[in-house]
Amino acid sequence: MVRTYGLHLARRRDQPHPGPGPVRHDVGERLRHALGFQATYEQGAAVPSRLCGRSLHLGLGPVTEVGHNALHNRLGHAMPNTQALTERTRPCGTNNLFVAWETLTHGDNPA
């Protein structure tokens, strides 16, 4: 759960106001790679032995939509693993805490 909120909050922290905002380069690059890395294993890729002894706790949850929209749809970065996971889990729904229906506000939104 900490990983999920960390990825979600990294994107939210970068937004200077409630609406869509620019992604700072350093945060954007780290988030892009973190989402892609996690999405790879969320979709069933074999886990190498050097990574947590092949014992990962999966379950990223509904947090990829905002980062994917900002980095892929708006800035044009290729994010094939994150895109596949995001599209497969749409509509993203809610985690009953603070992530709720991000697909409605961010799904393929170029603005």
Q: How many separate domains does the chain show? A: 1
Q: pLDDT tens digit string along 23-57?
A: 555 778 888 999 999 999 999 999 999 988 888 88
For residue 51, give its domain range: 2-106
Q: Using DSSP, state whether 94 is helix, strand or coil.
A: strand
For residues 59, 107, 29 and 60, what is the CA-based torsion angle, rounded to 10 degrees? 0
9, pLDDT greater than 70: no
8, pLDDT greater than 80: no
Query: Is 48 part of a structural domain of the chain?
Result: yes
Query: Is 58 part of a structural domain of the chain?
Result: yes
Radius of gyration of the chain from its Cα atoms, rounded to whole angstroms: 14
Share of the chain above pLDDT 70, in %: 77
Query: Is 111 part of a structural domain of the chain?
Result: no
Query: Is 69 part of a structural domain of the chain?
Result: yes
Contact 38, 47 (CB under 8 A): no
Average pLDDT over every residue of 54-63: 84
What is the reported pLDDT for 62?
82
pTM of the prediction? 0.72
